[in-house]
Structure 1
């Protein structure tokens, strides 16, 4: 019989952007790709390199500043549904684990990246969070009151569950040009 393979899943996820533009919190970021796995936005730092965004993000592309932009967010706890059931929906928890994805185009699934659509540790499930390979997996943490984030400048910040959703969105958008306020 073939040997079984065990691999470690990661507890952090790359921030591919925010669901809405940080500029006005209602319009779509550009470019945007709609797929069967929900909307992919490219306004973050860790993005899929494909036909819409054919190059990796460079530091000069982070016009909001590296101290004001998330690169990686914590995703280390089970998603808790409103009925109290816990589910492991981390963005790395699919075939191949953290280091695999679809064929690389805008219509394929990808792992270990998320587009932020809900508050930290949200208990509600919007479209795009139901499967580990969908685009909008939740930021989750067992830490009481918030989650850890790595910023583009290399620093780590603990961000409260209660952070204003507009500020959270702007922290995920590398070039919205909007002030943050306290977070």
Structure 2
């Protein structure tokens, strides 16, 4: 007589728990790898964004034989004339001709004091390449205006470099020509400058240290953190007019540019206390450092741990010092 083997109809509870535990371990091992892969893709996209900005700056330079300037003297008689940012000026070179052709280069681009004929166009304008895909910061910022109601404008995560507060290659020797104001100390030994500081004649040939050793663009794509660990949103595109405005003009508050005075991700200090200050530090949502665009059109990653003298040397186009490793 042959006895039939009993058939199992289901997992036991213990077996089910073991399977669930194994799956949980595999997910725990896989999740960081997935996150790292996503960040690597985002970092590559950010690098491409800055690469496209570098190409736009070179194409602008080929067209006008100078680099775009970011500010011009403002008149205090009547409604102030606060002009467009360098990012606005390169719009035709990032495939935004349609928007650029509708702009009127008069009036107040900050929309803070007087009416702007550009309010409707700028509200609709969005350039995906002006935002870092890793950034947790809002991509748009709303603001009241004097004569155009409330507007919502794109806020970029990238910033032009006007120079270094410290003589390039040093960390304690103040530059020979800081422009003192209540908003910090701007220095114009970099590449993206205001009119009135010889920026109307600044070209790539003025990168005396070499275009591969001079920074033009970098990031402000993450929050800063104070001593209590609180998040602080501060970037040079975060004030009135956002991405599209130059700020207050020469020797005044600024937008979309910074003079390097502090190490990467430094919170607070003179000129680094508000988003319209002139020394807002570089900061990035990418782990370990910031992306930067050099004057030769290349893009590099600069570690947060880099010797600060290297950062000041990169920001100063004419210090004559040899850069250390980064």
Match of 2:210 among 54, 65, 72: 65
Name the structure, 1 or 2, with higher relative contact order (CA <8 Å, separation 6+): 1
Highest Rg: 1 or 2? Answer: 2
1:80 aligns with 225
With the length of structure 1 as denominator, give the TM-score of the two structures: 0.90
Q: Secondary structure of the equivalent of 2:152?
A: coil
Q: Answer whether contact 2:169 2:323 (CA < 8 A) is retained.
A: no
Per-residue displacement from partner, 1:9-64 (whole Å, max 9, x unpaired)?
101100111111115443332432111111110011111222x4352521111000
Provide the rounded CA distance (Å) in 1 between the counterparts of 2:188 and 2:159. 15
Residue equivalent to 2:324: 181
User: Quick one: structure 1 residues 121 and 24, their matched pair in 2 at CA, closer, same or farther if it must change by over 3 Å?
Assistant: closer
Q: Is the 8 A contact 1:90 1:137 kept in 2?
A: yes
* Structure 1: segments with no counterpart, 5+ residues: none
1:134 CA displacement: 0.5
Q: Give the alignment partner of residue 32 of structure 1, picking from 154, 173, 178.
A: 178
TM-score by length of 2: 0.52
Count of residue correspondences: 179
* Alignment pair present for 1:7 and 2:146: no
SS at match of 2:276: coil
Which of 296, 304, 311 is matched with 1:168 structurally? 311
| Partner SS state of residue 137, structure 1 | coil
Query: 1:72–1:150: 8 Å Cα contact kept in structure 2?
Result: yes
Aligned to 1:129: 272
8 Å contact 2:170–2:312 — kept in the other structure? no
**RMSD across aligned C-alpha pairs, in angstroms?**
1.7
Structure 2: gaps spanning 5 or more residues: 1-147
Q: Which structure's residues are more often helix, by fraction?
A: 2
Q: In proportion to residue count, which structure has more strand?
A: 1
